[in-house]
Structure 1
Amino acid sequence: MKVYFFATCLGGVAYSKMCVNAIKILQKAGVEVIFKKDQTCCGQPSYNSGYFEETRKVALHNIALFDQEYPIVLPSGSCAGMMKHDYLELFEGHGEFDKVKKFCSRVYELSEFLDKVLDFKFEDKGEPVRITWHSNCHALRVAKCIPSSKKILNSLKNVTLIELEKEEECCGFGGTFSVKEPEISNAMVKEKIADIHARDVEYVISGDGGCLLNISGAMQKMGSKVKAMHLYDFLAYRMGI
């Protein structure tokens, strides 16, 4: 099987190692990965800020770039939600809608692809560890890929997943929200971190780079000993790759 890999903006800027690990996991699952060098943003920042015409140009660029009938796999529920569902709303009533709909049907968040398409079984080679999980808002409510992510984590024999009391509450990042409303964002991330600390875990795992930047940055300032790690870095680590 061949797939396109869409790294996302944060994947390229802040989580390049995670992207490499995600590709290694796909290759371990027997998949040939195609990385298009001209890929760019999914368009979510401009879409959420009301720049719809500009976002359509970004979407059409992506549709033209990933032109073969291969699945498009993303290591981010946020961007997957944008490209799989929000593109449909963006182009509703436009002449390109049918083409966009066909494109959207090929988009998968990586954990969903590993779980539902490949049924890939992970071999856990790590020592026993306690972790907790933060659900990104867009992954939870739009892409709806959280069940696959948590199913994979729960399949790791030496990993104990401790649920957060307020798992589904936003960490305060929200893309441009954290820039426009920094005080509210800061209060939200402090509540999230308090919940994490109450779980007595070594790691907090998430499948979204934006949330991780927000949570890990705040925890670092607080001197927290809990490590924040992207889902696909964590899985690669547990697999020993």
Structure 2
Amino acid sequence: MTVQLFIPCFIDQLFPETAFNTVRVLEKAGCTVIYNPQQTCCGQPAYNAGFWDEAKQVGQKFLNDFSGEHPIVSPSASCTGMVKNAYDDLFTNTVIHNHCRTIQGNIHELSSFLVNVLKKDYFGAELEGRAVYHDSCSALRECRIKEEPRQLLERVDGLELVEMRDTETCCGFGGTFAVKFEAISSAMAEQKVHHALEMEADYLISTDASCLMQLQAYITKHQLPIKTMHLADVLAHGWANI
């Protein structure tokens, strides 16, 4: 199967190895991955800040950068959810309405694509330790993804997956929320990390780099004995030539 790869801003600028691992996992699953280097942003930052005209301009470029011919796969439930849901606000009954609907039906978050489309959940990954999984708001509430990442993690050799308290509670990032309400955001990150530590977890794993950036910042500041990892990095661990 040929797939189009969408790499969000956060991953492109701050976590490029996650992008490469996404390619490695997709290729191991038997996919031919094509990447349009002209792609940029899905428009979510502007949309969430209330600048819908600007978000529409960025979103229209996104729609032009991808075709409806092949599935679009992204290692981000947040950006996938933006396209699937918020584009309804931006492009319904516009001249690109039909193309938008095609793209919306064609974009997939990585774990959902692997489990629900390719029907594959084992990639030979190896990672020793205990892990908890954080349900990002976008994955759980916008993309309806819950069991797929857990199914993939349960097939990672050497990894013990356990459930922490309040796994479905927000980590406190929320884009500009973390800037406008710093104290609340930090307290939410603290709660999430300490729930993971209660389970004596070595790793805190999620589908969204933005959540992981928020949580790792708290972990690093307080020098805590736990590490965040993106799902794509876990699935490529132990076999990819990194």
One fold, TM greater than 0.5? yes
RMSD after superposition: 1.5
Q: 1:181 to 1:126 in 2, by over 3 A?
A: same
Deviation readout 1:63-110 (Å, 9 max, x if unpaired): 111125111100000011011222123223434322211111110001
Deviation readout 1:114-165 (Å, 9 max, x if unpaired): 1111112414452542100111111110012232111111233432111111
Residue 183 of structure 1 and its aligned partner are, at CA, apart by 1.0
Query: Quick check: 2:46–2:54 contact (8 Å CA) kept in 1?
Result: yes
Q: 1:3 to 1:191 in 2, by over 3 A?
A: same
Q: Once structures 1 and 2 are overlaid, which stretch shifts more, 107-116 or 57-66? A: 57-66
- What is the identity, as a one-letter code, of the residue corresponding to 2:34? I
Query: Quick check: 1:43–1:59 contact (8 Å CA) kept in 2?
Result: yes
Q: Measure, in 2, the Cα distance between the counterparts of 1:145 and 1:92.
A: 25
1:103-182 residue pairs with structure 2 within 5 A? 103-126=103-126, 128-182=128-182
Deviation readout 1:38-84 (Å, 9 max, x if unpaired): 10111111111111111111111111111251111000000110112
Q: Measure, in 2, the Cα distance between the counterparts of 1:127 and 1:112.
A: 21
Q: Which runs of 4+ in 1 moved over 6 A?
A: none
1:37-116 residue pairs with structure 2 within 5 A? 37-116=37-116
Q: Measure, in 2, the Cα distance between the counterparts of 1:23 and 1:87.
A: 26
Q: Measure, in 1, the Cα distance between the counterparts of 2:13 and 2:67.
A: 25
Q: Measure, in 1, the Cα distance between the counterparts of 2:220 and 2:151.
A: 29
TM-score by length of structure 1 reads 0.95
Number of aligned residues:
241
Query: Quick check: 1:73–1:109 contact (8 Å CA) kept in 2?
Result: yes
Residue 27 of structure 1 and its aligned partner are, at CA, apart by 0.6
Q: Once structures 1 and 2 are overlaid, which stretch shifts more, 188-197 or 118-127? A: 118-127
Q: Measure, in 1, the Cα distance between the counterparts of 2:139 and 2:19.
A: 18
TM-score by length of structure 2 reads 0.95
Identity of aligned residues (%): 35
Helix, strand or coil: the match of 1:41? Answer: coil
Deviation readout 1:193-227 (Å, 9 max, x if unpaired): 11111011111111111111110010111110111
Structure 2 gaps, min length 5:
none
> Match of 1:207?
207
Query: Quick check: 2:78–2:208 contact (8 Å CA) kept in 1?
Result: yes
